Chain A
Amino acid sequence: DARVTQTPRHKVTEMGQEVTMRCQPILGHNTVFWYRQTMMQGLELLAYFRNRAPLDDSGMPKDRFSAEMPDATLATLKIQPSEPRDSAVYFCASGLGPGINQPQHFGDGTRLSIL
Chain B
Amino acid sequence: LAKTTQPISMDSYEGQEVNITCSHNNIATNDYITWYQQFPSQGPRFIIQGYKTKVTNEVASLFIPADRKSSTLSLPRVSLSDTAVYYCLVGAYNAGNMLTFGGGTRLMVKP
Q: Spell out A's residues near B (CB within 8 Å).
A: 4, 42-46, 55-56, 58-59, 91, 93, 97-109
* Other-chain residue from B93, B101, B103 in contact with A98 (beta carbon distance below 8 A): B93
* Other-chain residue from B41, B91, B102 in contact with A100 (beta carbon distance below 8 A): B91
Write out the residue numbers on chain A whose beta carbons fall within 8 Å of the beta carbon of B31.
101
* Other-chain residue from A4, A59, A93, A101 in contact with B97 (beta carbon distance below 8 A): A59
* Other-chain residue from B34, B44, B45, B102 in contact with A101 (beta carbon distance below 8 A): B34
Write out the residue numbers on chain A whose beta carbons fall within 8 Å of the beta carbon of B92.
99-101
Tell me what chain A mostly uses at the interface: helix, strand, loop, or mixed.
loop
CB atoms of A101 and B43 under 8 A apart: no
CB atoms of B45 and A56 under 8 A apart: no
Q: Which of B49, B94, B97, B102 has the most CB of A within 10 A?
A: B97
Task: Using known A-B contacts A56-B97, A58-B97, determine if residue A103 contacts B49 with beta carbons closer than 8 Å.
Answer: yes
Q: How extensive is the interface on chain B, given as a class?
A: 20 to 34
**Minimum CB distance partner of B46 in chain A:** A103
CB atoms of B100 and A44 under 8 A apart: yes
Q: Does B42 reach chain A (CB closer than 8 Å)?
A: yes
* Other-chain residue from A42, A56, A100, A107 in contact with B93 (beta carbon distance below 8 A): A100
* Other-chain residue from B45, B95, B96 in contact with A106 (beta carbon distance below 8 A): B45
CB atoms of A108 and B42 under 8 A apart: yes
**Minimum CB distance partner of B99 in chain A:** A100
* Other-chain residue from A58, A93, A102, A108 in contact with B41 (beta carbon distance below 8 A): A108
CB atoms of A42 and B43 under 8 A apart: no
CB atoms of A43 and B96 under 8 A apart: no
**Minimum CB distance partner of A60 in chain B:** B97
